[in-house]
C-alpha cells in the first residue's frame, strides 16, 4: 500500500470514529430524554395536581389491600380523617411516581438511564405525631425509560419481571415526625424499612421529606441500591458500561382513606 493510500485509509477510519462518537454524543446529550432527578419542585407539583381517580388503599398491617375505597369528597379535610385516638390512614393516589436512575457510559460518553412508573400502591398510618406503619408496592414491569431496548434488558435478564413482578417497601420502625397530620405540616426524617426487590429483602434507611397541603400528603425520597445486594446481574453490555449501583427515586401522593 502506498503512503498516499495509507493516509486515505487512516483518514477514513478516523473520520468514521469521529462520526460514531459524534452520533453517540448527540444521542446522549440531545436525543436521550432522561428526566431530571425528582426534587422538591416535583413534590410541590404533585401536591398541587388535582386528583380525580380513586386509588388502591392499604391497611396498617398488610403490604397492599385489594379494596379501592371511595375518594374523600372535595370538602373533606385532614382533621376529618383523624379519629378520636389521633390516628389517620392515608392511601396512595394518582400523581405518584417511582423509578430508577443509574449512571451509564455509552461508547465513552457519560449519560444516565432513567425509568419511571405511576403504578404504585400502598399507604401510611399516622398516630399522633408518629408514623406507625407504611408499605408500598410497585409493578416493576411497568417501569419504562426513553429506550425500548433498555426496557427489554431491564424486564428480562436484569430484573426478571416474569419471576419477580413486584418490589415493595415495608416500614420496620415507628418514625417520630415532630408534627401531627394537619395541613401545612412538613417533616424531613430518616425512615427504616425492608426493601424487597428481585426476590431479595434487605434493610434500608432513607431520608424522606413529607408535606401536607390541601388535604394531600406528599413524600419525596431516594433509596441508594447496590445491584449485587439484590442478586441483580451486571446491567452492562459491550460498549455500554453501567455503574454497579443506582437510585430508586420517588414522589408519592396520598389522600386520607375514606371511612
Q: CA-CA distance, 189 to 53, in Å (whole number)? A: 29
Q: Quick one: pLDDT band at residue 159, thresholds 50, 70, 90?
A: very high
Q: Is the pLDDT of residue 224 over 50?
A: yes
Say which residue the cell 408514623 belongs to.
131
Single pTM value for the model? 0.77
- Round the CA-based radius of gyration of the chain to a whole number and report it: 23
The pLDDT tens digits for 116-158 are 999 999 999 999 999 999 999 999 999 999 999 999 999 999 9
What average pLDDT does range 41-67 have in this prediction? 59
Domain boundaries, the chain: 1-31, 34-256
Tell me the average pLDDT of the chain. 82
**Hey, which of 15-24, 57-66, 82-91, 249-258 has the most confident mean pLDDT?**
249-258
Cβ-defined contacts of 79-85 (< 8 Å, 24+): 79/182, 80/256, 81/181, 81/256, 81/257, 81/259, 82/180, 82/181, 85/127
Question: 34-256 domain in CATH 3.40.50.150?
Answer: no
The pLDDT tens digits for 82-111 are 776 778 999 999 999 999 999 999 878 888
Task: Indicate left, alpha or beta for 107 from its phi (over 0: left) and psi (-120 to 50: alpha).
Answer: left
Nearest to 21, CA basis, from 104, 107, 105: 107
Nearest to 69, CA basis, from 253, 256, 219: 256
Cell triple for residue 207?
Answer: 431520608
Amino acid at each position: 500500500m502506498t503512503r498516499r493510500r495509507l493516509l486515505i485509509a487512516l483518514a477514513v477510519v478516523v473520520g468514521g470514529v469521529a462520526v460514531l462518537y459524534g452520533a453517540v454524543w448527540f444521542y446522549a446529550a440531545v436525543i436521550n430524554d432522561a428526566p431530571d432527578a425528582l426534587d422538591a419542585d416535583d413534590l410541590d407539583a404533585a401536591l398541587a395536581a388535582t386528583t380525580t381517580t380513586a386509588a388502591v388503599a392499604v391497611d396498617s398491617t398488610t403490604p397492599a389491600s385489594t379494596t379501592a375505597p371511595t375518594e374523600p369528597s372535595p370538602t373533606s379535610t385532614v382533621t376529618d380523617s383523624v379519629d378520636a385516638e389521633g390516628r389517620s390512614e392515608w392511601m396512595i393516589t394518582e400523581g405518584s411516581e417511582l423509578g430508577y436512575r443509574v449512571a451509564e457510559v455509552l461508547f465513552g460518553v457519560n449519560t444516565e438511564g432513567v425509568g419511571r412508573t405511576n403504578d404504585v400502591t400502598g399507604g401510611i398510618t399516622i398516630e399522633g405525631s408518629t408514623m406507625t406503619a407504611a408499605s408500598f408496592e410497585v409493578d416493576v414491569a411497568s417501569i419504562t425509560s426513553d429506550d425500548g431496548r433498555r426496557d427489554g434488558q431491564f424486564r428480562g435478564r436484569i430484573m426478571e419481571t416474569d419471576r419477580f413482578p413486584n418490589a415493595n417497601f415495608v416500614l420496620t420502625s415507628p418514625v417520630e415526625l415532630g408534627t401531627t397530620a394537619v395541613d401545612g405540616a412538613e417533616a424531613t426524617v430518616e425512615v427504616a424499612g425492608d426493601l424487597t426487590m428481585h426476590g431479595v429483602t434487605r434493610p434500608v434507611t432513607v431520608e424522606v421529606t413529607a408535606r401536607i397541603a390541601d388535604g394531600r400528603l406528599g413524600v419525596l425520597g431516594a433509596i441508594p441500591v447496590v445491584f449485587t445486594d439484590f442478586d441483580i446481574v451486571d446491567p452492562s453490555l459491550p460498549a455500554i458500561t453501567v455503574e454497579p449501583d443506582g437510585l430508586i427515586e420517588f414522589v408519592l401522593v396520598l389522600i386520607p382513606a375514606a371511612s
